[in-house]
Chain A
Amino acid sequence: MKKIFSMASSCITPLGFGTAATFQAVQAGQSALRPHWFDFSDESFCAATIDETPLTTHFTALGYAAHQYSKLEQMSIMALRDVQAQFSEPLTGPDTLLVYCSTKGNIAHLASGTEQPVAPALYLSHLARTVARACGFAHTPLVLSNACISSLQGVLVAKRLLSTGLYRHVVVVGADEVSKFTLSGFHCFNALSRQPCLPFDAARTGINLGDAAVALVLTTAPATSAEAVEVVAGSSTNDAHHISAPSRTGEGLYQAITRTLRQADDDTVDFIGAHGTATRYNDEMEAQAFHRAGLQEVPLHSLKGYFGHTLGAAGLLEAVMGIESMRHQELIVSKGYETCGTTLPVRPVLQRGPARLRRFLKTSSGFGGCNAAVLFATTA
């Protein structure tokens, strides 16, 4: 089997434009969650949004006309242009594929009423083509929409497509934005937290939403730097249990984790990037799955306290932050955690600090009962 390496990344988040700026803000303990008011409630809800003014300024400086692109398109193009500038080979040839992952894309632009024509940009494949064209990709992009595991599943899809030998490089993008569409939906589920979310904590009351676009270059080209990270193994599963409630036993996630670790020659895990949405049921389900997999003593973090839940972008954003954690040999604090709030205890990271970090397990779960796990490892 060909080895697959991750070589360059970019995170466009409220905490920074670029992976380095975003990671630095996280390690400085900054959170992007702020109270926002929406017209469906008198109360405010925390969300992590990117201000349009700095976004547009940055985007325009890349040579684009901002009015021709939606906010999500601007974020996605910025992430892609950043990785294209970093990577040693051009990513615009026939040996490169773009895999674009999003749950709702440009849904904020959906007009009400069935009679009105739907704007082409509302179709995910149209959105992905707009982004791909702006960045000069040769092929029509592949679009994946698998709820909250979308972009982590995108890494798995990329690994498989690279294994076929059809492509030499695959660029995975995960992108979603805060919209009234998704906010009002999670609100009617009673899943939104007014305060900054508290993953795995006893006082957790729900999720916050956030904006993010993230790009990661995966390649079969030989790792040229000691900083390259290998995508060792991965797996996705379905709970086959309920379309919106996670499995009580964590069965699907447990299966995804054990299948991933079985594929790897070495099943050591130095830390876990959990999904940790801060809903009662999700965090409880994850704790069950980590225990069943024998990983209850492994340090873990949820990054939702920094970025909120960025839906289809979350898996890739959190994978990239975990990769940075390995590169810097420094644990990330699981922001918002104080008191154990799951039936079976897990070990959220309480203090930033140096640690020997070589192998990182990233997990995600989503509506539709889907779960994904991917194991990353340093090559040095």
Chain B
Amino acid sequence: METSITATCAIRGRQIFLNGTLLFEAPEDTAADLSDFLIAGYRHFGVSYPKFFKMDVLSKLAFLTAELLLPKAGLQDRLRPADIGVVLTNRSSSLLTDVVHQQSIAEPASHFPSPAVFVYTLPNIAIGEISIRHQLTGENSLFVTESFEPAMLVPYVSQLLAEKSCQACLCGWLEAGLTGHEAFFYLVENHASPAPTPRPHRVPDVELLYSQPHYS
């Protein structure tokens, strides 16, 4: 069956792109801290979802990327929530929050772990946050890879769609680690979609979409 990529959204450095077009660039002074930058993006796009502020940075990054991608794609008008899968890949798992939890338990004399932190010490919580927001109840997986690897992701998602475990899938790369952050999400759909320029769901196409636009 023909499957196609119908939309993309990327957050890189202090820039946010939708379908390859730069939509938002934070001033340098707000971009030093990833959480501050994501909050600036959230405000810029007029998103209203108070739970956003409770999320750790990995979930904030995932949430904002999905928030810009999914409603515009109009997927939920065409498909049931159970038919939309989420498959994300990441390098550092939940390391940034792991470090915060570790600091709260390192010294027996100052042992104050918080449930609100601990729950984010799993990378798939970010998928949970996206699922709650958009009511996605289908197949969901988080793979850990060294870097974004379309050669691994594309065949797996193709199989999910071929066996009809889902009709569409939110896929991509979701990384927030000690050396930087990057989100690149794309939508893959089984049916011919109304997107003006759908791309075939193949490894070279995903690689091309991922590499464009170049960092400014």
Contact = CB atoms under 8 A, between A and B. Distances in A.
Contacts, number: 165
Q: Which of under 10, 10 to 19, 20 to 34, or 35 or more describes the interface residues of B?
A: 35 or more
A279 to B, nearest CB: 13
Contact of B159 (A39, A144, A164, A187): A164
B127 A184 contact: no
Interface stretch (A145-153, A199-207, A335-343): A145-153
Interface residues of A, number: 58
Contacts of A39: 108, 111
A1 to B, nearest CB: 8
B101 A243 contact: no
A237 B138 contact: yes
B105 A146 contact: no
Contact of A157 (B99, B123, B131, B141): B141
Given A113-B103, A147-B122, A180-B105, A188 B115 contact: yes
Interface in A104-127: 104-105, 107, 110-114, 118, 122-125
Given A144-B142, A188-B113, A164 B108 contact: no
Interface in A218-239: 235-239
Contacts of B82: 237, 255
A242 B129 CA distance: 8
A103 B125 CA distance: 12
Contacts of A87: none
Nearest to A237: B137
B8 to A, nearest CB: 22
Contact of A368 (B105, B125, B156, B178): B125
B92 A239 contact: no
Contacts of B143: 142-145
A241 interface: yes
> Which among A105, A107, A110, A185 has the greatest number of chain B C-beta atoms within 10 A?
A185
Given A40-B111, A188-B115, A252-B137, A240 B131 contact: yes
B3 interface: no
Contact of A369 (B99, B132, B139): B132
A40 B138 CA distance: 39
Contacts of B136: 238, 240
Contacts of A157: 141, 156
B51 to A, nearest CB: 9
A252 to B, nearest CB: 7
Contacts of B102: 110-112, 181
Interface in B70-103: 81-82, 86, 91-93, 95, 98-99, 101-103
Pairs of residues from A and B, 4 with the lowest C-beta to C-beta distance, nearest first: A368-B128, A185-B118, A112-B106, A143-B144
